[in-house]
């Protein structure tokens, strides 16, 4: 079998002084109007490669919106600075948004980012193995390699590879989702309430596995969650949303 | 590594990926897929059967018409004067199938006897003939299997023997001393091809009576289904020579004369044998000849009835096919449209994974094409069953003369093409809808 050379980016990660993976300043997003106007503001957010950060806030505070902005899913209304240095590239995401370069943004999202959703993060019509192979194949990676095999073993889904998602328990689905999000070795994983659908014990285990894998592979993680206690317990750097209490509508500001 | 992949390769890979995803989703969602397949089949099968029926019935009737050579004949009534440039003008017409001058009907007879003189038939009609004469049987045209037949030959219904094999080819007389006899005449005279025959041309009346006796050879017989009754087919120059002899334009006519150049070239003939190239040609040819002041007869009435039936059936088929097509677009379009709703989350996930607009739109399009192809296969199986039933039960009325229901390979190919077109049309709405699915949708749920 063809053995691919180790990716250049790992080399870059270990031998260069760490620079910022994501550098955001003065980003705002809003939708709606009048007393339904909803605004989210991120004055400054700097994320180093491999860093684990929690985005916390009450439900409805716009945590998911922050994830959408940083995951290149929603266009920010204003951005003072929006820079990306994942996978050895140096990209001004702000400029890409200004140009509405959806293709380029989707390409960065596909190659360099991974997503863990609250539930149903797998395509229902593919087996677990098919889900894992999907992005790898489209990126020209072999469907399996030692790195992925190790992860499958650690998250204990080896026996479930040939089952479809609906045949798996919620915990198994969530573990498979984590492997899927990491399978193509992204530089950043965005997780939206990854443990809220699980009972507390299972939630702890899944969170541990996610963070352990990210640490092991040098992948930065942004977790949007309302579970403040769990985040405090894990000792994660926290960016929390505070209600700005505007005269009309809703406004939240996310800062360290 | 993956970043260095060329954009074209990545694009191709993602398209192939989209195609695979579309099919895997169809397989996962078997029950819905089957319902859609049967929907397509339920629309396509009756349209195929109806077209096959229209085709089979009309083709059989037209075949029947064309099997009688007289259908294409334009008969000039009475004797007239036709110049040789008139013949040249008509020979050049695209609607003309065959044209040959002939003499006055009254002088175009001959008495025949077998060599021992025991069997005689008097005043046999002489018909001039030449290469291309529609009354003479020809070899069935060789039909090389078409591309589709070769490709799908094994799955197509076998080319049924819808026509009894045509009689063996009969060539027109090649020399003035050669004759073709009709089958009835050959029987009366007890002659077969290769036999010698004595022909007598009579002229004068009373004491002026004179005979020319010619030794001729039978080179073939014309089957009864091509010409019923007694007649001989001969070369035009022999016919002209006998007329000249009768008219006293030549002193004598002997067997020896037949060896050399026979008749002086004429510039005017009393009549003509005229055949159109095809059924529509009968009408145009007849109109032109009427305009030349000729009184003519055709089988126009019979042709008209068949053509009118063909037009009527064609119209009925068009209306039903149109309604079927419309129904197909709406049914398949609606089903695919609703399907985008059901698959919204999967499409959003694909977006989230970085798959572009192309892949996401490709999924409903590819699914639609797959459903159309599968549905068409079901429809074709249904068609085969229906056509077999029609041909077995109704075919008896045609007394083995033809097929009630049949589709040519090119018709099948056209039907596949139209089905695919309808499917793509139906899917385009769903594709547009899929293109509006936002990746962020999978984050916003709860």
Beta carbons of B176 and B440 less than 8 angstroms apart: no
What DSSP assignment string belongs to A133-171? HHHHHHTT--S--HHHHHHHHHTT-GGGTTS-GGGS-HH
For the CA atoms of A65, A68, A74, A79, the dihedral, rounded to the nearest 10 degrees, stands at 80
pLDDT tens-place string over residues A26-72: 899 988 888 888 888 888 888 888 889 999 888 878 888 899 899 98
Beta carbons of A92 and A20 less than 8 angstroms apart: no
Clarify whether residues B39 and B131 are in a common domain: no
How many C-alpha atoms does B93 have within 13 Å on its Cβ side? 23
pLDDT tens-place string over residues A89-108: 888 888 888 888 888 888 88
For the beta carbon of residue B139, count every other beta carbon within 10 angstroms: 9
For the beta carbon of residue B242, count every other beta carbon within 10 angstroms: 27
Does B301 fall in a domain? no
Q: Percent of chain A beyond pLDDT 90?
A: 15
Clarify whether residues B266 and B323 are in a common domain: no
Does B375 fall in a domain? yes
Please give the distance of CA B334 from its chain centroid, rounded to a whole number: 40
Provide the pLDDT for residue B158. 58
Angle between helices B409-435 and B300-342 (to 10 degrees): 30
Distance in angstroms (rounded) separating the CA atoms of residues A96 and B393: 71
Clarify whether residues B275 and B219 are in a common domain: yes
Does B154 fall in a domain? no
Does B161 fall in a domain? no
Clarify whether residues B245 and B356 are in a common domain: no
Provide the pLDDT for residue B100. 92
Provide the pLDDT for residue A164. 93
Clarify whether residues B106 and B10 are in a common domain: no
Mean pLDDT on A194-218:
84
Does B155 fall in a domain? no
Does B163 fall in a domain? no
Per DSSP (E only), the strands in B223-327 are: 231-234, 268-269, 271-276, 296-297
Quick check: A87 and B3 CB within 8 A? yes
Mutation choice for B interface testing from A9, A73, A122 by most B CBs within 10 A: A73
Q: How confident is the model at residue A4 (pLDDT cuts 50, 70, 90)?
A: very low
Of B269, B294, B319, which closes a domain?
B294
Kindly state the helix (H) or strand (E) to which residue B197 belongs, with its residue range: strand B196-203
Domain count, chain B: 2
Provide the pLDDT for residue A126. 93
Provide the pLDDT for residue B3. 45
Clarify whether residues B376 and B325 are in a common domain: yes
Strand B210-222 and strand B196-203: the pairing is: antiparallel
Q: Which of A105, A58, A98, A108 is nearest to A78 (CA)?
A: A98
**Chain A contact for B444 (CB, 8 A cutoff):** yes
Bridge partners, residue B170, by sequence: none
Which domains are delineated in chain A?
8-255 (3.40.50.300)
**Chain B contact for A181 (CB, 8 A cutoff):** no
Shortest Cα distance, chain B CAs vs residue A154, angstroms: 23
Kindly state the helix (H) or strand (E) to which residue B180 belongs, with its residue range: strand B178-182
Contacts 24+ apart (CB under 8 A), A5-10: A5/B1, A7/A185, A7/B1, A8/A88, A8/B1, A9/A87, A9/A88, A9/A187, A10/A218
**Chain B contact for A90 (CB, 8 A cutoff):** no
* Chain B hits for A74, Cβ within 8 Å: 440
Clarify whether residues B199 and B320 are in a common domain: no
Clarify whether residues B88 and B175 are in a common domain: yes
Could you tell me which residues come within 8 angstroms of residue B223 by beta carbon, excluding any fewer than 6 positions away? B137, B167, B183
Residue ranges of B 326-365 with Cβ closer than 8 A to chain A = 345-346, 349-357
Enter the tokens of residue B75: 């008969």
Clarify whether residues B259 and B232 are in a common domain: yes
Does B299 fall in a domain? no
* Chain B hits for A109, Cβ within 8 Å: 352-354, 439
Quick check: B444 and A64 CB within 8 A? yes
* Angle, CA of B376, B377 and B381, to the nearest 5°: 115
Could you tell me which residues come within 8 angstroms of residue A19 by beta carbon, excluding any fewer than 6 positions away? A48, A49, A85
Clarify whether residues B224 and B361 are in a common domain: no
Angle between helices B409-435 and B30-67 (to 10 degrees): 150
Mean pLDDT on A10-14:
46
Clarify whether residues B51 and B124 are in a common domain: no
Q: Which of B221, B223, B213, B212 is nearest to B189 (CA)?
A: B221
Of B268, B294, B320, which closes a domain?
B294
Q: Which domain holds residue B215?
A: 78-136+171-294
Residues of chain B with pLDDT under 70: 1-5, 10, 140-167, 263-265, 395-403, 444-446
pLDDT tens-place string over residues B30-89: 998 999 899 889 888 988 888 888 888 877 777 777 777 888 899 988 888 899 899 999
| Residue carrying the six token digits 């119209």 | B315
- Please report the ipTM that was assigned to this predicted complex: 0.84
Beta carbons of B200 and B113 less than 8 angstroms apart: yes
Quick check: B355 and A130 CB within 8 A? no
For the beta carbon of residue B438, count every other beta carbon within 10 angstroms: 16
Enter the tokens of residue B96: 């003309």
**Chain B contact for A104 (CB, 8 A cutoff):** no
- φ/ψ (deg, to 5) at A109: -60, -45
Beta carbons of A248 and A36 less than 8 angstroms apart: no
Quick check: A5 and B1 CB within 8 A? yes
Distance in angstroms (rounded) separating the CA atoms of residues B116 and B196: 10
Does B165 fall in a domain? no
Distance in angstroms (rounded) separating the CA atoms of residues B85 and B292: 13
Clarify whether residues B193 and B229 are in a common domain: yes
**Chain A contact for B29 (CB, 8 A cutoff):** yes
Of B259, B294, B329, which closes a domain?
B294
């Amino acid at each position: 079998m063809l053995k691919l050379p180790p990716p250049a980016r790992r080399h870059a990660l270990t031998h260069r002084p760490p620079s910022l993976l994501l550098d955001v300043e003065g980003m705002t997003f809003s939708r709606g109007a009048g007393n339904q106007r909803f605004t989210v503001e991120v004055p400054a957010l700097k994320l180093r490669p491999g860093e684990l950060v929690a985005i916390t806030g009450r439900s409805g505070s716009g945590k998911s919106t922050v994830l959408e902005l940083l995951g290149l899913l929603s266009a920010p209304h204003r951005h003072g600075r929006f820079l990306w240095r994942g996978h050895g590239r140096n990209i001004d995401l702000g400029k890409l948004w200004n140009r509405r370069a959806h293709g380029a943004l989707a390409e960065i999202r596909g190659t360099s980012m991974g997503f863990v959703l609250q539930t149903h993060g797998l395509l229902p019509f593919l087996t677990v193995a098919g889900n894992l192979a999907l992005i790898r194949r489209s990126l020209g990676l072999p469907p399996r390699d030692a790195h992925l095999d190790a992860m499958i073993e650690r998250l204990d889904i080896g026996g479930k590879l040939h089952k479809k998602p609906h045949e798996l328990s919620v915990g198994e689905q969530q573990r498979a989702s984590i492997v899927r999000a990491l399978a193509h070795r992204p530089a950043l994983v965005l997780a939206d309430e990854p443990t809220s659908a699980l009972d507390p014990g299972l939630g702890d285990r899944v969170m541990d596995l996610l963070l352990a894998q990210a640490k092991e592979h040098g992948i930065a993680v942004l977790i949007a969650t309302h579970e403040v206690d769990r985040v405090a317990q894990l000792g994660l750097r926290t960016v929390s949303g505070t209600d700005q209490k505007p005269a009309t509508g809703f406004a939240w500001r996310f800062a360290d | 590594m993956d970043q260095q992949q060329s954009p074209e390769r990545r694009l191709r890979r993602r398209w192939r990926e989209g195609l695979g995803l579309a099919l895997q989703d169809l397989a996962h969602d078997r029950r819905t897929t089957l319902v859609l397949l049967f929907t397509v089949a339920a629309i396509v099968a009756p349209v195929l059967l109806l077209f096959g029926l229209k085709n089979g019935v009309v083709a059989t009737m037209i075949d029947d018409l064309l099997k009688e050579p007289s259908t294409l004949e334009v008969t000039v009534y009475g004797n007239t004067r036709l110049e040789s440039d008139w013949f040249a003008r008509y020979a050049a017409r695209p609607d003309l199938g065959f044209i040959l001058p002939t003499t006055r009907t009254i002088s175009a007879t001959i008495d025949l006897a077998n060599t021992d003189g025991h069997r005689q038939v008097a005043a046999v009609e002489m018909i001039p003939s030449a290469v291309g004469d529609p009354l003479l049987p020809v070899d069935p045209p060789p039909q090389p299997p078409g591309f589709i037949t070769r490709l799908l030959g094994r799955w197509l219904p076998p080319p049924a023997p819808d026509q009894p094999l045509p009689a063996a080819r009969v060539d027109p007389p090649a020399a003035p001393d050669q004759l073709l006899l009709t089958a009835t005449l050959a029987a009366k005279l007890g002659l077969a091809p290769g036999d010698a025959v004595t022909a007598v041309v009579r002229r004068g009346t009373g004491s002026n009576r004179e005979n020319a006796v010619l030794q001729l050879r039978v080179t073939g017989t014309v089957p009864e289904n091509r010409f019923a009754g007694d007649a001989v087919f001969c070369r035009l120059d022999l016919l002209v020579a006998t007329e000249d002899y009768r008219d006293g334009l030549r002193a004598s006519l002997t067997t020896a004369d037949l060896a050399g150049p026979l008749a002086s070239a004429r510039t005017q003939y009393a009549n003509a044998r005229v055949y159109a190239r095809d059924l529509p040609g009968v009408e145009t040819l007849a109109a032109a000849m009427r305009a030349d002041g000729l009184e003519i007869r055709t089988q126009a009435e019979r042709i008209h009835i068949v053509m009118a039936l063909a037009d009527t059936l064609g119209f009925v088929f068009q209306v039903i096919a149109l309604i079927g097509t419309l129904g197909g677009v709406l049914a398949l379009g609606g089903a695919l449209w609703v399907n985008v709703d059901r698959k919204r989350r999967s499409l959003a996930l694909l977006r989230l994974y970085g798959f572009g607009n192309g892949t996401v739109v490709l999924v409903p399009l590819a699914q639609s094409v797959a459903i159309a192809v599968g549905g068409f296969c079901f429809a074709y199986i249904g068609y085969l069953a229906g056509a077999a039933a029609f041909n077995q039960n109704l075919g008896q009325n045609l007394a083995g003369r033809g097929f009630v229901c049949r589709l040519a390979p090119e018709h099948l190919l056209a039907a596949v093409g139209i089905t695919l077109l309808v499917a793509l049309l139906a899917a385009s709405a769903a594709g547009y809808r899929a293109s509006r699915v936002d990746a962020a949708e999978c984050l916003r749920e709860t």
